[in-house]
Amino acid sequence: MEIIWYHPSLAPHGWLDGLRQRLPEARVRHWQPGDTAPADYAIVRSPPVEMLAGRQLKGVFAMGAGVDEILKQIRENPQMLADEVPLFRLEDTGMARQMQEYANWCVLGWFRRFADYRQLQQQSQWQELDGRDRHNFTVGVLGAGVLGRSVLESLRQWGFPLRSWSRSAKQIDGVQSFHGRDQLNAFLDGTQVLIDLLPTTPETTNLIDSHLLRVLPRGACFLNLARGAHVVEADLLAALNSGQLAAAALDVFQTEPLPQDHPLWSHPHVTITPHTAAITLPGEAMDYIADAILALQQGDKPGGLVDRQRGY
């Protein structure tokens, strides 16, 4: 069994050694330009077209939960990957817990008004602020996949009303579920904290715009843990400046790295992190990939298979 590996910035040795330990019968190599030797599986991040084009692969594994980047490459270069070659993404592999940590930190901080107290501290003001009503502090998650469900489950312990919105109908215990465009406004109406965990598809690109943000109650908060492509940033800034949004925590952006002169950097009600809400954990990722390859070798279907038409 031949496995090729490629990442544009990571050092290969830890990955290659880890995969060899987990798949001792496999020959694992770092793909480099000019390598046309046979391969059964490919493990990739932003692969060059020539790495995959023309190969009779049994499976390709993207080193991340999002696959919009490689799907864009395939759309632009159809010869890159035949339709019959299955493409897999990392469904969790330690990312869910990291998303839970980030979401809980933001939601609890907004609920307890810690940012407001921070501003009072900077003004040397000893002032008690009115508390929020837990039963009216509705948290809504856009996206009810593995990560969206995980975040919702982690928030359940705090007693907030929880909502989810997804492309198709989903049932999650303790969560009011909405689906489809027809139910989007109903989902937004009354949502005090909006969390984006959608995949990137043509339908979700620029979804979060002025029209969507106006449906939220005035003073709502927004957390983006998904992709910057979902947000019209000028509309987001306008909503923050007008008070329609009280705060935003943003881990992803239309352009990354975020340009140094971008107004989001200095906005007083914005928290920025550099696309680190959930990083790929090599050990967990290699465990999943090794198990998935063994399942494919035995004729089984592992989780994480991407529907290329849907985009996730």
User: Would you name the residues annotated as active-site residues?
Assistant: 227, 275
CA-wise closest residue to 91 among 243, 303, 245: 303
Task: Give the residues across from 4 on adjacent strands.
Answer: 29, 42
Task: Give the whole-angstrom CA distance, residue 179 versus residue 194.
Answer: 15
φ, ψ for residue 221, nearest 5 deg: -120, 150
> Is residue 195 within 8 Å of 209, Cβ to Cβ?
no
Residue in the block written with tokens 């907004």: 110
User: Which of 255, 200, 259, 250 is closest to 230 using CA atoms?
Assistant: 200
Note whether 226 and 143 are within 8 A (CB).
yes
Instruction: Decide: 141 and 156 in contact? Cβ < 8 Å.
Output: no
Q: Cα 77 from chain centroid?
A: 24
Distance in angstroms (rounded) separating the CA atoms of residues 13 and 311: 31
CB of 207 within 8 A of CB of 226?
Answer: no
Q: Where are the alpha helices (DSSP H) in the chain?
A: 13-22, 49-52, 68-76, 95-112, 114-122, 146-155, 184-188, 210-215, 233-242, 282-297
Q: How far apart are CA 4 and CA 260, in angstroms?
A: 37
Q: Which two tokens stand for residue 193?
A: 């904290």
Q: For residue 13, what are its two tokens? A: 């040795």
Determine the residue type at 252: V
